[in-house]
Structure 1
Amino acid sequence: MNRPQYILLPANPLFIAASLICAFLLNLLPWGQWVGVPDFVALVLIFWSIHQPRKVGIGIAFFMGLLMDVHDATLLGENALSYTLVSYFAIMIHRRVLWFKVPTQTLHVLPLLFMMQFVQLVIRLMVSGDFPGWLYFLECIFTAALWPAVTWLLLAPQRRAVDRDETRPI
């Protein structure tokens, strides 16, 4: 416990909404057919479900999933179900995850992303019967690798002081 503990400012709801919109816009980019492209919406949903479970929950995850279903032209509800499940489990473990440092948090986020991809795979197999191959699961590994950067980026506005004072340690 040698590292300093910071008191974070409350998360601005407009910043939360803007981060979800930016993540959605990143998912709209035309790199969806590449293998291993991170799911930015899932990553930001997990982040806010862990850090602000009272502001971002299952309802927002379901809505974002429906938006991704429409964009990806997948079975309506595939992404909605997987995002809802991942948000639910992230809320369940949010107190535990926050006790760990960021690299260890990545190890908690990876099974959530793997479960999300597994649910999507099961739905696709039930509907079409086509197995996309084992490289399909690279997406959850690359998405989890972005966890430290996303944590640093999304917590940055909460770390700043309201009125900067050089004599105050926080």
Structure 2
Amino acid sequence: MNRPHYILLPANPLFVIVSICGAFLLNILPWGQWYGVPDMVALVLVFWSIHQPRLVGIGVAFFMGLLMDVHDAALLGQHALAYTLLSYFAIMIHRRVLWFPIGTQALHILPLLLMAQMVQLVVRVAVSGKFPGWLYFLESVTATLLWPLASWILLAPQRRAIDRDETRPI
């Protein structure tokens, strides 16, 4: 309870856009098809949907889902549906999640990421009839473990003071 609470600066919309584009670029790297490699777009979308729900919402999630569908040559709308639901449920719980410490936030994020993966899996199995195996869900666990690092990186620009002063902690 004695840890300091810093007042964050407003999020720079350009930084939000760059972080989402960077997550997309990380997703299109060749190792994105291995088991356990997290869906960085989903992680960044859920982060910004929780921290900036008016800036990043369902429309951005749908657009990023369409981009991922085109990149993965998946059924058009598979990622879009999953990301849209992910963003919707993240926005629904965003006030609650922000009250918790970072570890508990990660535990709130895990069911959201698993739900998004389950939606993608249902669409994939309905179309192709192939179940990828239980290691498929390792992706959500890895993304949950990356939540503290993602929070630290994505909130870093908001933690700096407008005019620096040695006697002020924010």
Pairwise TM-score range, normalised by the shorter structure: over 0.9
C-alpha deviation, 1:81, in angstroms: 0.2
Taking only aligned residues, the RMSD between alpha carbons, in angstroms, comes to: 0.7
Is structure 2 residue 39 aligned with structure 1 residue 4? no
Which AA in structure 1 matches 2:79? N
Structure-2 separation of matches of 1:85 and 1:169: 38
TM-score, length basis structure 1 = 0.98
Q: Which runs of 5+ in 1 are unaligned?
A: none
- In the alignment, what sits opposite 1:19? 19
Which AA in structure 2 matches 1:98? L
Deviations 1:76-114 (A, max 9, x none): 000000000000000000000000000110000000000
Is structure 2 residue 149 aligned with structure 1 residue 137? no
Q: Which runs of 5+ in 2 are unaligned?
A: none
Describe the SS at the equivalent of 1:166: coil
Where does 1:154-169 land on structure 2 (aligned, <5 Å)?
154-169=154-169
Misfit runs of 4+, over 4 Å: none
Number of residue pairs matched by the alignment: 170
C-alpha deviation, 1:167, in angstroms: 2.1
Where does 1:2-151 land on structure 2 (aligned, <5 Å)?
2-151=2-151
C-alpha deviation, 1:32, in angstroms: 2.4
Structure-1 separation of matches of 2:154 and 2:48: 9
Structure-2 separation of matches of 1:81 and 1:34: 22
C-alpha deviation, 1:33, in angstroms: 2.4
Query: Percent identity at matched positions?
Result: 76
C-alpha deviation, 1:130, in angstroms: 0.6
Residues 160, 124 of structure 1: CA spacing in aligned structure 2 closer, same or farther, 3 A cutoff? same
Structure-1 separation of matches of 2:111 and 2:169: 37
C-alpha deviation, 1:166, in angstroms: 1.2
Structure-2 separation of matches of 1:151 and 1:41: 14
Structure-2 separation of matches of 1:38 and 1:9: 28
